[in-house]
Amino acid sequence: MVEWLSTLSVWMIPALIVFIPLYAAFKKVPVYETFVEGAKDGFGTAISIIPHIVGMMVAISMFRASGAMDMLLSVFKPLLAPLGVPAEVLPLGLLRPLTGAGSLAYTTDLIKSFGPDSMIGRIASTIQGSTDTTLYVITVYFGAVGIRKSRYALKVGLFSDLVGFAASIAVCLLLFS
């Protein structure tokens, strides 16, 4: 199973790189012009979020360097160890629904500390891709269209984040253990 997944992952990006321009050409979309316009928008977005990511990375690094993170994780390690779950990913599950920049900074810190091919790095990356910033989405998007009663959406969003968190751990432990 892992061998098949590795082969698929090696060929997925080259296949997409070939497929997307061919499909766009088939649909008569100006591929290069559309790409350049999107890159301009993406560059502005990247510039605008850099201060937030740097701030969150500094805060997370300070939290870890102070020993507070180790103290927090020591409480949960005995509960998660029998399940094979690394306690280091628990703060990501709590942070992800709150802030995209903060969870990205924490994921970056985990990958820097443990490596991208470690179980912690794989689980953190999968959590990052399988969950959403529920509170941000509800605040910004619901506010933009004037929805005031969001309690059911909040419950469903947080429940889906919990399911995504648990499924990410389960899938990574199944595939990479």
- Beta-carbon contacts of residue 53 (< 8 Å; ≥ 6 apart): 101, 104, 105
Which pair of tokens denotes residue 72? 């927090």
Mean pLDDT confidence for 103-113: 92
Q: What is the predicted pLDDT for the residue at 162?
A: 94
Mean pLDDT confidence for 104-113: 92
DSSP state of 83: G
* 109-139 burial: b if 16+ Cβ within 10 Å, else e: bbbeebeeebbbbbbbbbbbebbbbbeebbe
CA atoms within 13 A on the CB side of 53: 12
DSSP state of 118: S
Residue 142, pLDDT above cutoff 80: no
- The whole-chain average pLDDT of the chain stands at 87
Percent with pLDDT over 90 in the chain: 37
State the Cα–Cα distance between residues 168 and 43, nearest whole angstrom. Answer: 30
State the Cα–Cα distance between residues 91 and 58, nearest whole angstrom. Answer: 16
Which pair of tokens denotes residue 111? 């990958």
Mean pLDDT confidence for 47-59: 75
Q: What is the predicted pLDDT for the residue at 135?
A: 81
Is the model more confident about 36 or about 56? 36
Which pair of tokens denotes residue 150? 């969001």
Residue 3, pLDDT above cutoff 90: no
**What is the pTM (predicted TM-score) of this model?**
0.67
Q: What is the predicted pLDDT for the residue at 168?
A: 96
Mean pLDDT confidence for 44-48: 76
How many CB atoms are closer than 10 A to CB 35? Answer: 13
